[in-house]
Amino acid sequence: MAFYDEMAVMALEMITEFGQPVTISKTEPGEYDPETGGEAPGATVEQTAQGILLDFTGLEFQNNSLIRQGDKKLKIAAQGLAWVPGLLDKVVAQGRTWSIVPTLKEINPAGTPILYELQVRS
């Protein structure tokens, strides 16, 4: 196992121990419906991930004007995810539904995803 693969496993273990399960959902686009001439409704797909929901610090508020009061930082372990979280996805954490807002960071040394850092807004 390569070094960064081991780091991805370690990140998952640490976030599992100190974090919580979160649900990431996205809507898959529907297929073309020739009867209506449009797209059929899409299906919602969900995956469970391990994450840590954190507050932004005062310094982060000063340096980034896109952070609003109430926004949170969500760190998700990349190991074992079926797909990469995207800006149109929703996250359920601590009983609330959160939208993902830019920017979405991927910690990805040497091409091995270890962690995703999301800014989420309820």
What is the per-residue pLDDT for 116?
Answer: 97
What is the per-residue pLDDT for 1?
Answer: 57
pLDDT digits (tens, 9 = 90+) for 21-40: 999 999 988 888 888 888 88
Domain region containing 59: 3-121
pLDDT digits (tens, 9 = 90+) for 2-17: 899 999 999 999 999 9
Distance CA 79, CA 98 (A): 21
Q: Is the pLDDT of residue 41 over 60?
A: yes
Q: Assign residue 47 the CATH number of its domain.
A: 2.40.10.270
Map 15-57 to HEC letters: HHHHCEEEEEEEEECCCEECCCCEECCCEEEEEEEEEEEEECC
Q: Look at the chain and report how many structural domains it folds into.
A: 1
The answer to whether 22 and 51 have CB atoms below 8 angstroms apart is yes
What is the per-residue pLDDT for 82?
Answer: 95
pLDDT digits (tens, 9 = 90+) for 64-117: 778 888 999 999 999 999 999 999 999 999 999 999 999 899 999 989 999 999
Two tokens at 80?
């074992």
